[in-house]
Structure 1
Amino acid sequence: MAASPLTVEEIDLLEPEFIGPTWQRDTFGRWVLPHKTLGWQIAGWCAEWLRAEDGGPWKFTKEQLRFVLHWYAVDQSGRFTARKGVLQRMKGWGKDPLLAVLCLVELCGPSRFSHWDETGEPVGVAHPRAWVQVTAVNQSQTTNTMALIPSLMSDEFKAKYNIKDGAVLIRANGGKCRLEAVTSSYRALEGKRTTFVLLNETHHWVVGNTGHKMYETIDGNATKQDSRYLAITNAYLPGEDSVAERMREAFEKIREGKAIDIGFLYDSIEAHPKTPLTPEALRIVLPKIRGDAVWLVAETIIQSVLDTTISASRSRRMWLNQIVAEEDALYGPEQLAEILHEGAVLAPGDEIVMGFDGGKTDDATALVAIRVKDMCAFVLGLWEKPDGPRGEGWVVPRAAVDSAVHDAFRVHNVRAFYADVALWESYISEWSETYGEGLAVKSPASKDAIGWDMRSSLKSSTMAHERLMRSIFDRKLRYDGDLALRRHTLNARRRTNNYGISFGKESRESPRKVDAYAALMLAHEALYDLRARGKKVRPRTGRGYFM
C-alpha cells in the first residue's frame, strides 16, 4: 500500500542537513563565528578593490561571509585552523564567483597572518610570492572560474597591483605573483611551489581522467609548502570513486570520531532524504537549500525537476544537493556503510571461500574471498584495464591471476571456490584438477569442482544474486572497506527477469565495472552451498599446504 503524501506541515519539518562550522548557532540562535580570523580584513579589502556584477563594490552575502570567516580562521599562533576544505552546494549557487574572489585574495590580498594588533586581532598581509592555481580535469571547468576574474578586478586594483591579464595566466606585482589555470596533467603540477590551489568540480575527478593523481599531487605540494587548497563540488554520484566522494568519506570518518581532525573544513547544505519531488514540496525546500543564493528561481528549478527527460536522482544531486545513487542502482552508500568492517584483516590459515570472475581485455578480472567464520569479504586480486595510453593493447595478465589463485590456496584454508568459466576454461580446469579433491563443496553447475557458468542458467544466477542481496540488506555479509569492491558494488545495476532480480553494468560499453561484485556473488554462493551441503575434508599437502 502506497504511503500517503506528506502534508505541507510535514514537509516544512523536513529540515536540511547543515554540515560545517558555517552553520553552527549558539543557544540564543546566533551564528557561532571564529574567535580569531583574517576574514573581516579580507572582506574590507574585497569591498575596496574588487567589483560586483553591477559595478559597485564587491560584497559577500552573509552565508558567503561566514564561510570566508571560518576559512581564514587562525589559532593562537596565527596558523590557519583549516588545512584544506570543501564547499559543496547545489548547482547555480555561486561557487565559481566566490572562489574567483578568493583566488584574487590569495593573489594580492591580506591572505597570510602577519601579527596581532594592539587589540589582539590578527592582521593579514599579502603573500610576497603568491602562486595560485585553478585546477580541473578539463579546460571548461577552469574557464568557469577564470572567465569571471577580469570583471572582478577594478581599474584601481589593476593599477595598484600591476596586473598583466590573460585567459589562463594572470601576473601581478611585476610578475612576482601569478594566478594560472591548470588542467588534466598531474605531472605539470608536480613540485610546484603553490601557495593556494582551487580544485574545481571534484565530482568529475576520477581515475579515468587522472583526477586521483592530480589530487595526490596537489596535497603533496601543499604539504611541502605549508599551503592550503579548497575544493568546490556539486553532490557526487556514489560509486564513481571521485575525489569528491573520497574527500566526503574522509570527512565523515573525522565526524564519526574514526579519524583525527587534520584541519578539514567541510561546508554543505543538503535536503532531507525524505523530500518529495513535488512542486509543493520543492517550493518549501528549495529556499532553504539555496541559502543566500536568491538569484536561483524556484519555479524554473521545479520545471527542470519535473522534466521526465531528466532522472530523478540527477535532479536530487543538482538541485537538492543530495548524495544519491541512480534509480536502478542495487545499493547506495548507506547500505555499504552498514556492512563496513574497518580494520578487518585476512590472516594466513583463515578458512575462506572464493569467487572468481574473469575478463580478457576490457572487462576486469576479480578474485574475492569471504571468511567463513564472520562472512567478511576481501579482494584477493583485481586486474583492470588502465585508463589512457597505458590501456592501449592491454590484456589481463593471466600468469599473475593464476599465481594469485595458487597463492590463495597456499596461504589460506580454501573450503570452496566458484569461478565463472567464460574465457578462462583451461585455467579453471587446471585449478579444479589441482585443488578440487581438497574442497568441501563442489560446484553444482559444472562437470568440474570449480566451474560455475553464469551464462548457462539465468534462474540459478538470479537466485544466487538474490541470496547475496539478502545477506547485504540483513547486514550478515561484511567487507573490509576495499575501495575497488565498493566501487564495483555501487556500479551494479538492477536487472529484473522472470526469476527475480539479477544485475549488470549500466550499459554494455560502460567503463564502470562490476566484476568484483560478480566475484563476490560467486564467493557468497560457494559459502551458501558450503553451509548447506559441505563435507569435512582433511588438510591438503604439497602445493596447497596450510600455514
Structure 2
Amino acid sequence: MRAGPKRAITAEPLDFSDLGRPGWTRLQRFALEYVKVPKGHGARKPFKLRKWQLDIVKELYPSRGPRPRQGLVSMPRGNGKSGLAAVIALYALFADEEEGAQVLVVASDERQARIIFNACRRMIELDERLAEQVQIFQDRIYVPHTDSELRPLPAEPGALQGWDPSLVVVDELHVVTEAVYDAMLLAAGKRERSMLLAISTPGESTDSVMWRLVEHGRANTNDVSFKLVEYAAPEGCALDDEEAWKIANPALGDFLAVDAVRAQLRTTREPAFRRYRLGQWVGQVDRWLPWGAWEDLANPTRVVADREPVVLGFDGSASGDSTALVGCTVGPDPHVFVVGVWQNPGDVRWRVPRSDVDDAVAAAFDRYDVLELAADPWGWRSEIEAWAKRYGERRVLQWNTAAANRMAPATDRFYAAVTQSELSHDGNAVLATHLGNAVAKSTALGDLIHKDKRGSPRKIDAAVAAIVALDRAAFHSNKSARRRVRSFK
C-alpha cells in the first residue's frame, strides 16, 4: 500500500454475471475464481470452500428465499474463521450486486478488526483483476466503479453511528456489549437486503449478548431472519475424546493439525480447552454450579397452583444493583420459580422501584399459601416490618444472608439438590444468569457464593434469593413431616 494520492482506476468494471444469481453458488464461484489463500496452508492457491464452509455459506446466502438479517457462527479457534469471514466480506464488496456496498468489519478494537481487513487486502493483492478495481487506504478499501467500501471499526457505539452497511462482520462477538450490538443491528437494518454476521468462539460467561443469541438460535431453528451455525463437542465429553474433537473442529486433520491439539491438551486448563478447542460454553472458570446442571432441571411447563404452599426468598439492594423475589414449593418435589427480579439496566440514576416490589409481594401472598417470606433485611427493614405487620410476624422472617452460619449450610443444601437432581425450576433466564455469575468461596462452615469480583456488574441476587427459598421450603417440608409422624403415633 503506497502512501499519498491514489491512482485513478482505468480498468473496466468487472463483470460477475457468469457467476450466476446472488446466492451461495455465486459466492462459491467467486471465491474459487477470484480469491487466493493469503497465507498458511494452501497459500496462494485458489480459495476452495470446504464442504463445511459451504454448509455455513448456504445458511447465510440461500439461493431462494430471503437471507437472514442476523447470522452467528460459533466454533473453536484454528478453524479458519477469519479467512472465511474475509471471503464473505470481499464477495459483499465486489460481487453481491449491491451498488454502494458498505462492508464494516467490527471487533473489540481496531487492531483486532484489522485482522480480517488485512486478510481482505492481501486477497485483493493476490488477484490482479481485483487489484485493478480498488484503491487501498490505511483505513478502507474503496471500489470507485460501484462507490463501495470496506472498513475496519472498533466495537464502540460512537464509531458505529451514521453508517448504512450492506454487511457487518463481527469478529469475536463474545466481547461485544449489548449497546454495541444494538448499534450495529440498527445500522444494518436500513437496507432492503443487509446482514449482521458474527463469527466467534464461545465466551467466558453466559452473561453476554452472544449467549443470548446462541439460546435464541437453538430455540428458534425456524426463524428465517436469524441463523445459528454452531460447532461444539457433545456436552460432558472427555477432554481426550478425539471423535468429539472432530465434531467441534471441522478443519481437524486438514489445516488444523491433530498433533497440535494433543499438545495443547497437555498444557491447557480444562475450562479453556473446552471453550477454545471444543467450542463449549463453560461459563466462568470458577463458577459455583457445574456447567449445565441447573439448565438440565428446567421444567417450565410445571405451574404452581393457586393456594399451593410456598416459601418466598427475598434479596434486595438499597439502590442501584438488583433485587429478587424467588419462590419455592413446599413438599417432596420442590420447584423453584421467579416471582420478580428488578435490576439496573445500566443507568447510574436507577433505583429499585420499591412500590413495584411491594406489589409483587402482595400479589404472591394473595395467590399462594405463603408459609414464609424470608428476607434479607439490609436496606429493606422498613418494608420488612410493614410486611410482618400486614401478613403476620410468624410468616415474615428476617434472614441475614451475610451470616455464614445460616447461609453456608443453605448454599450447600442448594448445591446438593441441583447436582443430585432433587428439584425443578421454571427456566427463568435471569435466575440462570445470576446462578452462572456466582462463584464459590470455601469456609469452615461450607461454601458461600459471591460475585466474581468486588463491584462486578455480574449480578447474583436472584441466586441468593433462590438459595434462601429452597432452604426455608425444606425446613417447612420437614416440619410438616414431623407433625405427621407425631399424629400417627
Is TM more than 0.5 here? yes
Secondary structure at the residue paired with 2:293? helix
Q: Which 5+ residue runs of structure 2 have no aligned equivalent? A: 1-20, 482-489
Contact 1:238 1:332 in 2 (8 A): no
Aligned position for 2:312: 354
Query: Aligned pairs, how many?
Result: 455
Indicate yes or no: 2:171 matched with 1:213.
Answer: no
Aligned position for 1:227: 194
Secondary structure at the residue paired with 2:399? coil
Hey, what's the Cα distance between the residues in 2 that align with 1:424 and 1:510?
A: 22
Contact 1:370 1:378 in 2 (8 A): yes
Aligned position for 2:90: 104
Equivalent residue for 2:402, pick from 455, 461, 464: 455
Hey, what's the Cα distance between the residues in 1 that align with 2:304 and 2:94?
A: 53
Equivalent residue for 2:232, pick from 244, 265, 270: 270
Aligned position for 2:151: 180
Indicate yes or no: 2:143 matched with 1:196.
Answer: no
Q: Which 5+ residue runs of structure 1 have no aligned equivalent? A: 1-35, 112-125, 440-448, 536-547
Secondary structure at the residue paired with 2:397? coil
Aligned position for 1:130: 101
**Alignment deviations for residues 276-323 of structure 1 (CA, whole Å, 9 cap, x no partner):** 446xx66x875775433644455555454433xx53201221122222
Hey, what's the Cα distance between the residues in 1 that align with 2:297 and 2:53?
A: 40
Hey, what's the Cα distance between the residues in 1 that align with 2:192 and 2:313?
A: 46
Q: How does 1:111-190 map to 2 (within 5 A)?
A: 111=96, 126-154=97-125, 156-158=128-130, 160-161=132-133, 163-174=134-145, 176-186=147-157
Indicate yes or no: 2:273 matched with 1:315.
Answer: yes
Hey, what's the Cα distance between the residues in 2 that align with 1:480 and 1:130?
A: 46
Aligned position for 1:245: 211
Contact 2:67 2:224 in 1 (8 A): no
Q: TM-score, normalised by structure 2?
A: 0.78
Hey, what's the Cα distance between the residues in 1 that align with 2:156 and 2:144?
A: 28
Hey, what's the Cα distance between the residues in 2 that align with 1:335 and 1:286?
A: 22
Task: Report the AA paired with residue 369 of structure 1.
Answer: G
Q: CA deviation at 1:528?
A: 1.9
Equivalent residue for 2:382, pick from 415, 426, 439: 426
Q: CA deviation at 1:519?
A: 0.6
Indicate yes or no: 2:350 matched with 1:384.
Answer: no
Contact 1:349 1:412 in 2 (8 A): yes
Change (3 A) 1:506 1:218: same
Task: Report the AA paired with residue 384 of structure 2.
Answer: I
CA RMSD, 1 decimal: 3.7
Task: Report the AA paired with residue 325 of structure 2.
Answer: L
Aligned position for 2:361: 405
Hey, what's the Cα distance between the residues in 1 that align with 2:373 and 2:414?
A: 16
Contact 2:218 2:228 in 1 (8 A): no
Aligned position for 1:13: none
**Alignment deviations for residues 250-270 of structure 1 (CA, whole Å, 9 cap, x no partner):** 232246xxxx44365433433
Q: How does 1:33-112 map to 2 (within 5 A)?
A: 38-53=23-38, 56-63=44-51, 65-67=53-55, 69-71=57-59, 74=62, 78-80=64-66, 84-109=70-95, 111=96
Hey, what's the Cα distance between the residues in 2 that align with 1:285 and 1:74?
A: 29
Secondary structure at the residue paired with 2:452? coil
Equivalent residue for 1:521, pick from 447, 467, 476: 467
Hey, what's the Cα distance between the residues in 1 that align with 2:261 and 2:319?
A: 43
Contact 2:53 2:84 in 1 (8 A): no
Equivalent residue for 2:266, pick from 277, 284, 306: 306
Q: TM-score, normalised by structure 1?
A: 0.71
Change (3 A) 1:274 1:405: closer
Q: CA deviation at 1:339?
A: 2.1
Q: Which deviates the most, 333-342 or 287-296? A: 287-296
Hey, what's the Cα distance between the residues in 2 that align with 1:214 and 1:341?
A: 35
